[in-house]
Amino acid sequence: MTITISKTDDFQACLALRMTVFVEEQKVPVEDELDDLDPVSTHFLASDAKGTPVGTARTYELGEIGKIGRVCVEKSQRGTGLGARLIEACLEDLRQRPHLTQAKLGAQTHAIGFYERFGFHVIGEEYLDGGIPHRDMVLDF
């Protein structure tokens, strides 16, 4: 099945995916899922051939650091490589901003190996985000 990933202004489609994956499946409190970074973020939406949203992610800037977050893939698309394609789209977007020197994300601890494949490495201690153990990871440009 053909999946397309593009920047989007359809925040509601992104939010609906995040609510399904993070709030319903992973039991993240809804108040932890919503934050003031969404209005200043670039949102990516993955859609199948019928136009159905199946994945999302966002990027934003914090000084010279490009942050990647809210990466999620609809259950039927997990294991297809879509998560990797979303990370690649985010990294491509951030690398086009010459003032950024690093990409950073908060990885759920079970996904550390996934992000290491892109060259990210762990920094700092484990912490809870939305009740889920995370570690910060960075990638130098």
DSSP run (H or E) holding 117: none
The answer to whether the pTM exceeds 0.85 is yes
CA 54 centroid distance within chain: 13
Number of neighbouring beta carbons within 10 Å of residue 30:
12
Question: 3-class secondary structure for 18-63?
Answer: HHHHHHHHCCCCHHHHCCCCHHHCEEEEEECCCCCEEEEEEEEEEC
How far apart (Å, rounded) are the C-alpha atoms in residues 53 and 21?
A: 12
How far apart (Å, rounded) are the C-alpha atoms in residues 60 and 105?
A: 11
pLDDT (tens digit per residue) in 70-112:
999 999 999 999 999 999 999 999 999 999 999 999 999 999 9
pLDDT (tens digit per residue) in 26-84:
999 999 898 999 999 999 999 999 999 999 999 999 999 999 999 999 999 999 999 99
**pLDDT(1) > 70:** no
